[in-house]
Amino acid sequence: MNRIVALLLIVFTLSACLSTKHAFTKSDVKSAQKVIGLEFSNERIDTMYSYLERNLEGYDTMRNYRLENDVMPAILFDPLPFGFKLPEGPACIYEPTKLVSEMPDDDQLAFMTIAEQASLIKSGKLSSEHLTRIYLGRIKKYDPTLKAVITLMEEEALERARKADQEIRNGLYKGPLHGIPYGLKDLVAVKGYPTTWGAMPYKDQQIDETATIVKKLEEAGAILIAKLTSGALARGDVWFGGKTVSPWDTLKGASGSSAGSGSATAAGLVSFSIGTETLGSITSPSTRNGVTGLRPTYGRVSRTGVMPLSWSMDKVGPICRSAEDCILVFQEIQGVDPMDPTLYDVPFCYDEDLDLSQLKIGYLDSLFVRDTSQAMRVVRKAVDSLTLLGLTFISDSLPGEFPFRSFDVILRAEAGAFFDELVRSGQVDLMVEQSKRSRANSLRQSRFIPAVEYLQANRHRKVLIEKMHEFMSRYDVVVSPTFGGSQLVITNLTGHPVITFPTGLDKEGHPTSLTLIGNLFEEAKILKVAKAFQEATSYDEMHPPMFAN
């Protein structure tokens, strides 16, 4: 009898332990209300208490099933306004017309544009192997200072370069990217190499796939030579190996999170690079490092094999030394991918003969006037150069009556979902940065965002999409300060394309920039204006003195 009683006591104790594994009290519920700004009576809390317990049991059950990295939520973001018709028309391939007659020295070669390098390679004056060796040598020389490279792919890069040279000698020239060395932000998977996401918990991670964007560039003949730094989990310019710095001022970070892409391109370590943006990670490094970055329309470039930060906001795009180079890269990487359900099948065709004087140009006048800094005076001088191209500006303002402070919950909630296991395992504590503004802290606090508020933010986002479409329908291109007002937040939420390009140097010798906003899927127009601006000015030809020779 005593043995039976003892067994019953054991069973009861075990049951009690299991049922209170995540026990919380009604007082806990009462306190938790303060985090979300609500207040229910004790009677209402009594009523909902058992429901909350069942919710927690459901969470625990769900956590027993592992989700692979490539699983997206069943609810997909749609950036298209009501009644929006996808652009139609033929696709076309832009071919650069620049001819370089004389072979420059190696340092000059390193800073040439893709178009110029392609001219030399196509004519047989320059080999891909020689160009690749130049960049490999510069990486070894300068990267200890810049900290822009995570993984150098020397052996395979040289092998691919020799193959490209052989193909070109045999008359199998694939186009302007054939034989051109490039770097890849280390959020993008390449089979057989680490894909670290810039974060200590993943520094030895290898993903058994190669991203679609890498495959497309390989088909175009481009030579991948390095995986470049990303701020840890796409935040800032600090990664597990240190801080990536700008070649214009090595005491300043390269800005994030495409820090390595911006720094390496500006310093002549690669011909071009690939970056990603969720809320400024192409535009900001392009500005800080004095290069040209294209953030395409949401749904233009495949994200298969790219680390998700926010499924509804992430974009992939080129960071180059000129707008023309952005055209050459973008036309190869854009387009459908059966593995990415967020893509739209829209043809891309850059029209070199487009008459700039026929474009309607919006100008966010109040954002330029509001900023009285010396750097903005440099930018306004560049705006004056735009008017000399025959462009007529119409002053206007972006939609403004929105709860912009609330929209960040979209990014943070989606990031929290993808990195759920990292937070629950405690591995998030291994990340280098742990400050209030760190990715680690952002992921932890994302667990306190209610699903209701996430959906409410997306409802407001839908209204913003409609208002932004109404605004943009008045223009072909809109001229904006890169960091003016809510421009970055708005265009990243609505999925509109932008191009950011250098406009000179401020009094401290740091690059300044200007941003052009385009209509959905109309990258060609902003590329046309940026290219014309760069042909009329020389800002894109400035290179950081410490690394130019």
> Is the residue at 286 inside a domain?
yes
CATH number reported for the structural domain that contains residue 110 in this entry? 3.90.1300.10
User: In the 8-state DSSP scheme, what is residue 297?
Assistant: P
15 and 132 fall within a common domain: no
Residues with Cβ within 8 Å of 60's Cβ and at least 6 positions away in sequence, in order, are 21, 22
289-301 burial: b if 16+ Cβ within 10 Å, else e: bbbbbbbbbbbbb
6 and 132 fall within a common domain: no
Confidence of residue 21 (pLDDT cuts 50, 70, 90): low
Q: C-alpha distances in angstroms, 74 versus 297, 339, 343, 397, 433?
A: 21, 14, 15, 35, 32
Spatial CA neighbour of 113 closest among 294, 271, 248? 271
Residue with tokens 């680390």: 307
User: In the 8-state DSSP scheme, what is residue 545?
Assistant: G
Spatial CA neighbour of 283 closest among 326, 243, 250? 326
For 150-207, what is each residue's pLDDT tens digit? 999 999 999 999 999 999 999 999 999 999 999 999 999 999 999 999 999 999 999 9
Strand partners, 428: none
Number of domains in the chain: 2
* Angstrom distance (rounded) from CA 50 to CA 56: 10
> Is the residue at 122 inside a domain?
yes
What amino acid is encoded at 109 in this protein?
Answer: L
- Specify the pairing of strand 249-253 against strand 223-228: unpaired
Residues with Cβ within 8 Å of 23's Cβ and at least 6 positions away in sequence, in order, are none
Q: With 70 as the cut, is the pLDDT of residue 5 above it?
A: no
18 and 135 fall within a common domain: no
Q: What angle (nearest 5°) sits at the alpha carbon of residue 81, between those of residues 76 and 87?
A: 95
* Angstrom distance (rounded) from CA 276 to CA 337: 17
> Hey, CA dihedral for 75, 78, 81, 83, is it positive or negative?
negative
User: In the 8-state DSSP scheme, what is residue 9?
Assistant: H
24 and 157 fall within a common domain: no
Is the separation of the CB atoms in 81 and 442 below 8 Å?
Answer: no
Give the pLDDT score at 18. Answer: 43
Per-position DSSP letters for 392-404, written without gaps between them: -EEE------S-G
330 and 205 fall within a common domain: yes
Confidence of residue 254 (pLDDT cuts 50, 70, 90): very high
Residues with Cβ within 8 Å of 67's Cβ and at least 6 positions away in sequence, in order, are none
Confidence of residue 22 (pLDDT cuts 50, 70, 90): low
Longest dimension (CA), the chain: 102
50 and 128 fall within a common domain: no
> Is the residue at 425 inside a domain?
no
> Is the residue at 431 inside a domain?
no
Look up residue 197 and give its two tokens: 């996401």
> Is the residue at 537 inside a domain?
yes
Q: What angle (nearest 5°) sits at the alpha carbon of residue 108, between those of residues 104 and 110?
A: 120
Is the separation of the CB atoms in 321 and 228 below 8 Å?
Answer: no
27 and 130 fall within a common domain: no
Q: Which domain holds residue 31?
A: 2-62
For 203-249, what is each residue's pLDDT tens digit? 999 999 999 999 999 999 999 999 999 999 999 999 999 999 999 99
54 and 168 fall within a common domain: no
Give the pLDDT score at 548. Answer: 87
Spatial CA neighbour of 98 closest among 82, 113, 76? 113
Per-position DSSP letters for 52-81, written without gaps between them: HHHHHHHHHHHTTS---TTPPPSS----PP
Confidence of residue 16 (pLDDT cuts 50, 70, 90): very low
> Is the residue at 85 inside a domain?
no
Dihedral, CA of residue 54, residue 60, residue 62 and residue 65, to nearest 10: -160
For 270-279, what is each residue's pLDDT tens digit? 999 999 999 9
Give the chain's length: 549
Confidence of residue 329 (pLDDT cuts 50, 70, 90): very high
For 112-146, what is each residue's pLDDT tens digit? 999 999 999 999 999 999 999 999 999 999 999 99
Look up residue 446 and give its two tokens: 């994302």
122 and 51 fall within a common domain: no
User: In the 8-state DSSP scheme, what is residue 89?
Assistant: S
Q: Is the backbone peptide bond immediately before 257 cis, with ω within 30 degrees of 0?
A: yes
Secondary structure of 229-254 as H, E, C letters = CCCCCCCCCEECCEECEECCEEEEEC
Give the pLDDT score at 549. Answer: 72
> Is the residue at 88 inside a domain?
no
242-264 burial: b if 16+ Cβ within 10 Å, else e: ebbbbbbbbeebbbbbbbbbbbb
Spatial CA neighbour of 76 closest among 458, 518, 456? 458
- Specify the pairing of strand 223-228 against strand 149-152: antiparallel
User: In the 8-state DSSP scheme, what is residue 296?
Assistant: P
436-471 burial: b if 16+ Cβ within 10 Å, else e: eebbbbbbbebeebeeeebeebbebbeebbebbbeb
170 and 52 fall within a common domain: no
For 85-121, what is each residue's pLDDT tens digit? 999 999 999 999 889 989 999 999 999 999 999 999 9
220 and 361 fall within a common domain: yes
Q: With 50 as the cut, is the pLDDT of residue 4 above it?
A: no
31 and 180 fall within a common domain: no
* Angstrom distance (rounded) from CA 456 to CA 37: 15
> Is the residue at 266 inside a domain?
yes
